[in-house]
Amino acid sequence: MVSGTEWCSWMLQVLIDDPKELEKIRDRESDITKERIQKVLDAGANVVLTTKGIDDMSLKYFVEAGVIACRRVPKEDLRCAFISSACPVLCSVAAAIASRASILSGKASKCIF
């Protein structure tokens, strides 16, 4: 049973009394991550570049889907990639879902990072 929550300046802390609840929370967190990745995949991405990190579990989902996912790419390298591919940039998963990014004739019509 979750006994309470406390807000910190940058995160939410959940206090749990029952170890079974901890496993349920971890499973749900994994499901949420997989759902978000699936939305990016459904949008048509076959390459994902980000300046931030991608955890190993997320990379596994991308690899299984045949998507190239690169983490910690310098911003200057991202700019060069987007200029050379001449595709618009989407800065969030929500933007990717809204635009239904797709790959047309081997050229990216939208870039998601």
pLDDT at 51: 84
**Can you give the pTM of this predicted structure?**
0.63
Under 8 Å between Cβ of 9 and 66: no
Q: Which domains does the chain have, with CATH numbers?
A: 2-112 (3.50.7.10)
Q: What is the pLDDT of residues 74-89, one digit of tens each?
A: 888 887 887 777 766 6
Q: Measuring CA to CA, which residue among 44, 42, 43, 41 is closest to residue 61?
A: 41
pLDDT at 31: 93
